[in-house]
Each structure stands twice: as structure tokens, then as C-alpha cells.
A and B are shown apart, each in its own frame.
Chain A
């Protein structure tokens, strides 16, 4: 039957040679396309992040002079050292508070059905995507001398004279916590959503009390997610600029403010460089320690973490310590069970109450801003003495605001467009091609998220001044592209990893050429993800302050810069009207994209109708 069993000896020697030629040709094609996909990303990251950073490093010891005295000054001067320590302390407090406040909410999100889930997440998403500036402004209104809290306390007769709430460390912690709680909730939720609640049920049926089931089974499984949320928040918090600058007092200066001051007002560049490098080294050290416990890429994209990995060395060490503490843990569990026995059973009513309280904490400041925009008073007083549209009328006539708004939109669209293209190509390259050090390169592509914005801003400032790009539109766009490309990469690579791998071969075998596959199959399926990535990039640019301040030059101020200048000059309800408008626009765009996504997903998610 096997007709082909004829002797092919004559053909055999030259055939494989021919084959090798074709394979080589196709291999070259693959390398070529991956070079094309990788090039823009690598050029961006090396040319506008690594090289400018090296300028800063070089400048910090005055190049060939090897003058390290600036580093000494960072540590020797009590003021500078205090700023550094204060920064770390505030970062730590904010991190711990945000995690503790966010954990129960994230836990509840894993338990609810899809409709309440989407309602809850809208209430968390809107604060998450509201500009830091607007949220900080809201806290200025709430905590001010004539703010809600003081007025309420006086009205209640608790105090007679207004308390000093604004310009304190307390205000900074509250403002930053407000910024980071939504981030904590979403980061922890995305890790927790992958944990099956059946584990806790299994523990209970095996005899664990609810407290034990939670502490011994559920909580340990969520720890990597909690830990990565903590790292994410901490490294963002210690690079924070807006909130401490506006809500803190003189003794609340954080390191970013110090760097900005050195670079802009004191013009002590070398000290600024040295402080930047110190901040960067602190972050590198934290990330290094973190990498002993969890895979670093998990911090930014929990989807890429794999649970079947060997526990890391440090994690094993932790386990041993835990075993030693066993008896103490059991005793605590006993007490906790006695105390919470009622709470942890069945009805999670208290969890809902708590979640609603957190949501009020998150959204109330925005509502205050909205109400204030209709104030009839010329001052920021809350509650407003009467309602009027005067501030809206004023906003409608404020041409400087209109120009800033239009300029920010232009800038956002340009940055989002370029970032989406570069990031998507980069994500294809990172996910689809096989090469060594892939994880390291993935982390490298996320590095603009690790380097504090203030350092990116100052290093680009120095670098762009050197290459005569400072103050140009393209210089500004590049800065914003750099900041938003990592988000595009995170979103796109998650989508590409979940992409059904048989669809492209199916298209190819039925006659589609590579470009047709891309145009007819791959991109249309990724369309909603591309939209999300683009929106994220746009919002990143639209909210961005520091890079803008440094790179703007003589161009029209962007909306955040305009806002920043006004807030420092005088706070009046006009800012509320502007904020309200921005919040409404941002919310509308989030909801629109969400709706498009939902419609697309409803049609296309895998799963059958039977």
C-alpha cells in the first residue's frame, strides 16, 4: 500500500540542503519583522530614558571631575536627610493604610456578581482616573480653614476655632491615601480574582474555623498580590509631587519637591542630580528586595504571574519563620475567632457597609468639587451660601482655559496615537518572539513606570536642552509617550497572551497572507484592547504635570499646568467648574470605551450557547 516506499536515495542529499535554504530564508524574515516591531520601543526607551538618565548620573559627579561631594551633601545636610527620611516614612504610612483600607473592598469584589461588580468598579474607576490635581484640590477644599470638616465641627460645637488641617502631614497622608486606595483595590483585586473561593470552603469543611480558613488558606494565597500592590504604591508614593506640595506644610517637603526646587529655583543642578540618583537607587533597592519574593513583572501585570513556580528563596525563609511562630498564631486565631465569629459567618453585611464607606471616601471629594462649581460665593466656602452659574459663565469666557484645554487634547491625542503604535508593536515583539532575557526586557519596557516622574522630567529637560528639542511640541509628545507606553504594553501583552493561538493559523491555512491575517483577524479582535490602551495613554498625558512643566517652554500651558499655576496663585470656585468639566469628560470617555468593550465582548467571548 505504501507506494511512497520507493528509494529516494538519489534525491536525499540535495533536498535537505534546499530545505535549509528555505528555513534560513523564513528565519531571516522572522528576525526582520521582530526587529521592525522592537525598534521604535527600544529607540524610545534607550534614546529618551536610558541616555538622559546617564546624563544625570554623569552630571551628579560632574563627569570626569569625579566630584562626589553632592552625594555627601544629600546625606550630610540634616535638612536633606530629613527630607529623604520623611519621604520614606510618608510612603510607608500611605502604603500600609491604602492596602489595609483596600483589602476588604478587593475581597468583596471577588465575591459579588457581575452587575454589582461593574457598578462598584465604576465608583472606583472614576476617582482612579481623575487627575491627581483635581483630587488634591478637593482635599484643599475639604480640609481648609473654612472647609467642610472645620465648619462641621464648629457647627457641632466640638471646637470653637478652626483646626489647622491643611498643610500638615495628616493632610498629605489623607490626600495620598485617597490617590492610592483605588490603585490598591484594583491591583489586589486582579490577583485575588484568580483565587478560587472553593479553597476556603474546602478548609472549612475540613474543620477550619472561618478565621482559620481565611488566615491560613485565603490570606496566604493573596499575599503575593498584596505585596505587589504594596511595592507599586510605595515606589509611586515616594516619587510623589503634587499632593505633598499642595497639602503639606514646609516640614512636609518630599524628595521630588526638593529635586524640583534644586532644578528650577535654586538652580543647584548637581545636587538635584545627586538627589535624583539617590531616589533612583532607593527604588532599585526596593525592587531588588521585592524580586526575592515575587516575580517583578507581577507588580505591573498580575496576569503574567504563574502560580506553579518554585517558591523563591526568600519566600521559603519566610515559611520557616512562620512555622516557628506556629503556637502564637494558633492562640491569636482562637481569640480572633471568638471576636469575629459572628462577623465572618454567612452574611457579609458589614463588608458591604465598609465598602460603601470607602466608596464615599473616594467619591465625596469629587462631589464636593461639583457642588462648589455652582457656588454663588466668590470664595471657596463649603457648603456654598447659594447656587449660581457664575463660575460656569466665567469658565465659558476664559479663553486661556479654552486654549489650554485644546492644547492638552492635541497633545493627548498625539501622545496616545504614537504610544499605542509603539507599545502595540513592542507588545507583539515581547509576547510573540522567542529570545533570551525576555523577562528582563519586559521589565525594561516598563521602566518608565519605575523611574519617578520627577527624574524622567528632569533628565528629559537636560537632554532635550542639549539636543535643542526643549520647548518643542515633539519634545513634549515624546515625554508623554515615554510615560504612557508602559500602560499600552501591559494592556496589549495581556491581551496577546490570551489570544487564541489557533485563529491565525486558521486564517493562514485558508489562504490569508501575513498582512491579511493582521488586517482581517488579529487587529479586529484586538480592537477594544487597542481602544483601552489608547484611552489609558491619552489620560496619562492629559493628567500629566511634571514632565509638562519641564518640557513646555513657551508653548500654551497644558491643562494641568494651567490648573497648577492657578491653584498656587489662588484657589477659587472657577477651578471647581474646570474640574467638574474634566471629570465629566473623562468619565464619559471611560464609560464609552467600556460600553464598546462590553458590546464587543458580548459578541466575541469564547463560550457556547448551549
Chain B
């Protein structure tokens, strides 16, 4: 039962505080969209407005073709997994899962079937007689998920559901949630501040900062083609080098790097003479000994400041004048550069973008 969700020009004020600004978002049926942002960015408020715990100051929210802003939470037909699971402590697992059906006065037999099906989907059938406090965190999480999907909600909301789990369990639950979402073809809105969760699970990620949607894109575009410095630095590691656009041409340009070296980069709407920041991911940067000639357009001379061995890769910090460039290299038996070695760092024009 997947349904589309549309947020139209949503604004939310708490007194003078503008916590959600100009939210415009259309989520397709069956799509997995993540609200990603630092804490206090307004992502939870946005989710609460969808759930019906908060009323937008203005704007409209459509579930399918129906406006839901004036509906109370209990009439919206939405499933939700809470951050601390919010399982009812006085009910058994199966009573918890049956809850959405009980309050809708579903027929007993029908309800039992649906509960059994939901529990088997999350692989918790054998725990149905237990109380929540007799379950581990991961098991509680599964029950909360079963409760949220048992009544075929039009859309499933998840508010930082993996935050309380330890690392291994979190990896496992990510895969489980994705499997269940695919199985049921559910529309999911997932809120997190964890970029790994967002990148792995989402069809699209809505990056939120200070109440505004900064960029809405799929994982790959967001990672490789961020449209702002915020997105570039919030998602993954990045190098930002001050630069000036010299000769713009068809969305790319010759640029001056860090006030001296010349190079070339993609543009994001700048024109000649604009100052900006050249963005390049650490894993896209090559390191060579200074003596070797540069093979690509962008290169800076520097000295290895530190080399951190991280197992599968080594993380170098290279000092180039006033800039420090981070470089990540897979450890595949290449040359290792010790601290103090004079080196040349370089990257391709298509791997870097000028951001405002």
C-alpha cells in the first residue's frame, strides 16, 4: 500500500523561531527518503508534522491526493518507529503489534493473522508472549517495526531508529529494514544524523540544515556533486581550497588555486572572477614524489605532515603553503610517504567542483 507524500511550502514557527523553512518535497510511492541533518536542524520537527504531532504554521501536506494537515495523528493511518521504540511496557510483544488493529477494532481472526505475518517478517514469532523489557535492543527494534507495519500503513516514518543500537546490530538492522521496505514496497521517511545510514539505505537523501532543505538527491550525486559547502563537509570528508574562477566555459573553468597555482574544475554556476572553494574528495587526490612530473591539471607542491595508517587505507595530511590537503590512499603495496617527504598532490578536473 505505498502512497506518495508531498510537503508543500511548509513553514513552522515556534514563537519567533523559524524552525522549518520553505519545505517543498515530493516523495514517490515506494521511495525511501532520508532526512539527514545535524541535531537541531529541524528534521525531527518536519517528521512530527507528517505524523501529526505538530501543526505546520502554514503550508500543506498530502498523503496521496488527500491533504492531512487538519487530520489528527490517529486518523492519518501512518506507521512510525520511534527513537526509543516506545513499545508499551505493559503489553506483550503480540499485544504491542496488535495495537494498531485493536484500536481500529479489527476482527480477531484477521488481526491474529496480520500480527503473525508481521512478526514473521521481522523474525520475532517465537518471542510473541514476552514483554518488551525481556527483549534485547535489537529485538525491541524489530517489534517496533512490526507494530508500525502491521496495519499496512500508507507510509512508514522512522525517527533515528538505529541510534540506540550497537555498531554490529546497526549494520544488520540496516539491511533488514531495507529488505522489508523492498518486500512491502513501502514509502519510508527515515530521519537520521548518521551519514552512513543515509548513504546506504536511501533512494534519496534530503539534507536539512537550519530548517531548510539544502539538497535533495540520491546518495551518489550527493556525495560526488554536492551543491554547497555544507553538504560537501557534512557528508564524508572533503578538501576545500580557496580559488578564483578565471576562464569559465561550458560549466567548467580554469581556476587559480590558493592564490597561486593554476588548475581546472567543474563549476556550480559561477562566472569569471568569482571567488569560491574548490571541493575535492580525499580519495580522488593522488600523491607523487615532487620529482615526478604532474600527470593532471591540478597539482600543488607540499610536504607530508602526517601519515595515519588505518588498516585498509592510509590517511595523509599534506601541507601545501597555507592549505592542508587530506588524501586517502588504499594500501595496495604502493610507495609509502613518511612525514617530511616533499610531495606533489594532484587531481583531475572532473573530480573537483567550485562551490560558493
Taking Cβ atoms with an 8 Å cutoff, the residues of A that contact B are 1-5, 8, 11-12, 15-16, 18-19, 22-23, 26, 500, 502-503, 505-514, 516, 520-521, 524-525, 527, 600, 603-610
What A residues does B74 contact at CB under 8 A?
508-514, 516
Contact partner of A606 (CB less than 8 A), chosen from B58, B80, B99, B133, is B133
Residues of B18-41 contacting chain A, CB below 8 A: 24-26
- The reply to whether B55 and A603 form a contact with Cβ atoms under 8 Å apart is no
What A residues does B140 contact at CB under 8 A?
608
Please classify how large the interface on chain B is, using the bins under 10, 10 to 19, 20 to 34, 35 or more.
Answer: 35 or more
What B residues does A18 contact at CB under 8 A?
70
What A residues does B2 contact at CB under 8 A?
none
What B residues does A3 contact at CB under 8 A?
6, 26
- The reply to whether A606 and B73 form a contact with Cβ atoms under 8 Å apart is no
- The reply to whether B103 and A603 form a contact with Cβ atoms under 8 Å apart is no
Contact partner of A609 (CB less than 8 A), chosen from B8, B25, B77, B134, is B134
Known: A525-B90, A603-B90. A4 touches B151 (CB 8 A): no
What B residues does A604 contact at CB under 8 A?
89-90, 131-133
What A residues does B82 contact at CB under 8 A?
502, 505-506
- The reply to whether A512 and B8 form a contact with Cβ atoms under 8 Å apart is no
Known: A22-B70, A508-B72, A509-B76. A516 touches B103 (CB 8 A): yes
What B residues does A500 contact at CB under 8 A?
84, 86, 89
> Which residue on A lies nearest to B134, using beta carbons?
A609
B161 interface residue per 8 A CB criterion: no
Give CA–CA (A510, B53) in the complex, Å. Answer: 12
- The reply to whether B8 and A509 form a contact with Cβ atoms under 8 Å apart is no
Q: List 28 A-B contacts (CB under 8 A).
A: A2-B25, A4-B25, A5-B24, A11-B60, A19-B57, A19-B69, A500-B86, A502-B84, A503-B86, A505-B53, A506-B86, A507-B88, A509-B51, A509-B52, A509-B74, A509-B80, A510-B79, A510-B103, A513-B103, A514-B74, A520-B99, A524-B90, A525-B88, A603-B90, A606-B133, A608-B136, A608-B140, A609-B134
Give CA–CA (A512, B78) in the complex, Å. Answer: 12
What A residues does B26 contact at CB under 8 A?
1-4
Give CA–CA (A506, B85) in the complex, Å. Answer: 9
Contact partner of B80 (CB less than 8 A), chosen from A510, A512, A521, A603, is A510
Give CA–CA (A592, B243) in the complex, Å. Answer: 77
- The reply to whether B99 and A512 form a contact with Cβ atoms under 8 Å apart is yes
> Which residue on B lies nearest to A16, using beta carbons?
B58
Known: A2-B26, A511-B100, A511-B151. A12 touches B58 (CB 8 A): yes
Known: A22-B55, A505-B53, A513-B74. 17 other contacts (CB 8 A): A1-B26, A4-B6, A8-B9, A18-B70, A19-B57, A19-B70, A502-B83, A509-B51, A509-B52, A509-B79, A510-B80, A510-B148, A511-B104, A604-B132, A604-B133, A605-B133, A607-B133
With both chains docked as a complex, state the minimum distance between the C-beta of B40 and any C-beta of chain A, in angstroms. 18
> Which residue on A lies nearest to B138, using beta carbons?
A610
- The reply to whether A1 and B135 form a contact with Cβ atoms under 8 Å apart is no
Contact partner of B24 (CB less than 8 A), chosen from A2, A502, A505, is A2
B217 interface residue per 8 A CB criterion: yes
With both chains docked as a complex, state the minimum distance between the C-beta of A198 and any C-beta of chain B, in angstroms. 24
B265 interface residue per 8 A CB criterion: no
Give CA–CA (A26, B54) in the complex, Å. Answer: 12
- The reply to whether A609 and B70 form a contact with Cβ atoms under 8 Å apart is no
Q: Mark B213-243, 1 if CB is under 8 A from A, else 0.
A: 0001100000000000000000000000000
Give CA–CA (A603, B70) in the complex, Å. Answer: 38
**Residue in A506, A514, A606, A609 whose Cβ sees the most chain B Cβ within 10 Å:** A506
- The reply to whether B8 and A8 form a contact with Cβ atoms under 8 Å apart is yes
With both chains docked as a complex, state the minimum distance between the C-beta of A220 and any C-beta of chain B, in angstroms. 35
> Which residue on A lies nearest to B50, using beta carbons?
A509
- The reply to whether B136 and A610 form a contact with Cβ atoms under 8 Å apart is yes
With both chains docked as a complex, state the minimum distance between the C-beta of B71 and any C-beta of chain A, in angstroms. 10
